[in-house]
Structure 1
Amino acid sequence: MGRTRRLRPGNACSGVTMIGSGRRNWNMLRAYVPGGPWTRVVGPGSTIGGAESGFAHMPLGHRRESLRSLAMELTPNLVPLSRLVGTWAGDGSGGYPTISPFTYHEEITFAFVGKPFLVYTQRTRGADGTPMHMESGYLRHTGDGHLELVLALPTGQVELAEGSLDADADTLTLELDARVWSTSTAKDVSATRRTYRLSGDTLDTVLDMEAVGESMSRHLESRLVRQG
C-alpha cells in the first residue's frame, strides 16, 4: 500500500507519494498552496484534505512558483518541458480524405516518473462517451532543443518521432516527424507529423498523417486546457 508524505510549507511541489519500497510515484505529485489546502497538481487521484481546486485554480503567482519548484525536481534535460507536465483535456475535430469528419473529447497526460523522460498517455472519446482511441509512449529531450517521442498504438502501429523544441517566455512548441511501422494486419500508415503548442494553460495539438496511399494531410486538431 502507498503512503503519502506531506510537503512542508514553502517547499512547493517537493512532496511525493511513496509506493511500497519507497520508490517515487510522480503521477501523484502534490503542491502546497500557502494559506490554503493541499492540492493535486499532476496525475490521477483525489485531492488531499478534501480540496476542490487544483493547479488551474491557483493564483497566478502560486502557479508560477509551483512550476519553478517542479523544474528543480526534474532531471536537467526535462527542465525545458516543465510547463508541459500535467493533464490536459478538451475537444477536437478530425477528418481525412478517406473518412467523414468527426468530433471527439481528448485527454493527454505528460507525467514525470523520476527518470530522464516524460510518460505520455492519450485517450479520446466520442460525443456520447464511447471510447475511440488511445496511445502511450515516452518523450525525451536529449538537449539543444532535440526531441524524441516513441509511441505505441493499439491499431498496430509504432511511431518513432524526432523533432524540435522551441521555447520562449510565453509559448512552448514541439514539432515532431515520425516514421511509422505497422503490423501485417494494420492499416498502412507511412508517416505522421505532430505539433503541440502550449500557451498559458492552453495546449493546442495537431496531427497530420500520410496513410492508405494519401499524401500528408490534416487528421486531428484539438484545444486542451490544464486540469486541476
Structure 2
Amino acid sequence: MSDTPIQPPPWLNAPPVDPYPYEETYDLRTGPKLHPTLNALLPYVGLWRGRGRGGFPTIEDFDFAQEIRITHDGRPFLYYESRAWILDEQSKPVRPAGRETGWWRPVCNDEGRATGELEVLLATPTGVMELYLGKITGTQVELVTDAVVRTSTAKEVNAGHRLFGIVDGALLYAQDIAAMGHPLSPHLSARLIRVGG
C-alpha cells in the first residue's frame, strides 16, 4: 500500500458551470449552420403542431393533438421530440398521451456524402426503444423497424412502420405497429402545421 494520500478529482469541488453553451434550433435563419448531410431533411426541421386520430385492435379509436420539434445543432443528425395529448369531442385536452425522443441520422458513404438512407433511434417513457432504418425520397421518409427493445414492464411491441411526408407545407405521417399479438396494423396518423422555424 502506498503512503501517498489520494487526491480528490479536480471536478469534485469545482464551481458550477454556465448553461449549455451550444445552440440547438429549429429556426434555420438563426443558430448553427445545418450540416450538409442533412440537406434532404431540411423541410422537416421546425416546430410542428396539429391533430390526428389513433386506434388499434386492442383499444378504442381516439383523437389527439401533437407537437413535434425537430432541431439541429450543426452536427450530422436531427433531434426529434414528440409529445401528444388526448382530445375530447370538443377538441379540449383530456390528458397527456404518447411521448418520444430520439435522433434521425443520415447514412453517409465513404466520402461523407448522404446516401438517402436514414437511421432513426426513438425511445418512449413507457419502456420501448426502436431502431428504424429508412429511405428519404424527395420530401417523403419511410421507416421500418430493424429492432425493438422493451423493458420487462413495457407493453409488447414487436415491429413498426412509419411514413412521413411534407405535403402542401404540412407534416403528415402514418404509423403502423405490430403489438399485443396483432400483426402490423394502423395505429396513428396526423397532420401538423409548421408553427416555428
Category of TM-score, reference length = shorter chain: 0.7 to 0.9
C-alpha displacement of 1:114: 1.8
User: In 2 relative to 1, CA 109–185 (structure 1 residues): closer, same or farther, beyond 3 Å?
Assistant: same
C-alpha displacement of 1:201: 1.8
C-alpha displacement of 1:77: 0.8
More helix by share: 1
Counterpart of 2:22 (choices 21, 24, 48) is 24
**Residue of structure 1 in register with 2:144 after alignment:** 177
Q: CA RMSD in A?
A: 2.1
TM (norm. structure 2) is 0.79
Q: Percent of pairs identical after alignment? A: 36
Distance 1:85 1:135 in 2: 16
Aligned structure 1 segments of 4 or more residues deviating by more than 4 angstroms: none
**Residue of structure 1 in register with 2:76 after alignment:** 116
Distance 1:222 1:125 in 2: 13
Any residues of structure 2 matched to 1:1-228 within 5 Å, and which? 20=18, 23-27=21-25, 29=27, 31=29, 73-127=33-87, 128-129=92-93, 130-142=95-107, 143-167=114-138, 172-178=139-145, 179-228=147-196
Worse-superposed segment, 124-133 or 143-152: 124-133
Unaligned runs of 5+ in 2: 1-17, 108-113
C-alpha displacement of 1:199: 2.2
AA aligned to 1:151 is L
Distance 2:36 2:183 in 1: 38
Larger radius of gyration: 2
Distance 1:107 1:99 in 2: 22
Q: In the TM superposition, what whole-angstrom CA distance separates every residue of 1:148-185 from its partner, at most 9, and x where no partner exists?
A: 10011111100000010001xxxx00000112111111
3-state SS of 2:182 partner: coil
Higher relative contact order (CA 8 A, sep 6+): 2
Q: In the TM superposition, what whole-angstrom CA distance separates every residue of 1:83-128 from its partner, at most 9, and x where no partner exists?
A: 1100111010011111110000011111011211000000001113
CA contact (8 A) 1:24 1:114 kept: no
User: In 2 relative to 1, CA 218–30 (structure 1 residues): closer, same or farther, beyond 3 Å?
Assistant: closer
AA aligned to 1:163 is G
More strand by share: 2
3-state SS of 1:78 partner: helix
CA contact (8 A) 2:66 2:83 kept: yes
CA contact (8 A) 2:26 2:45 kept: no
User: In 2 relative to 1, CA 28–212 (structure 1 residues): closer, same or farther, beyond 3 Å?
Assistant: closer
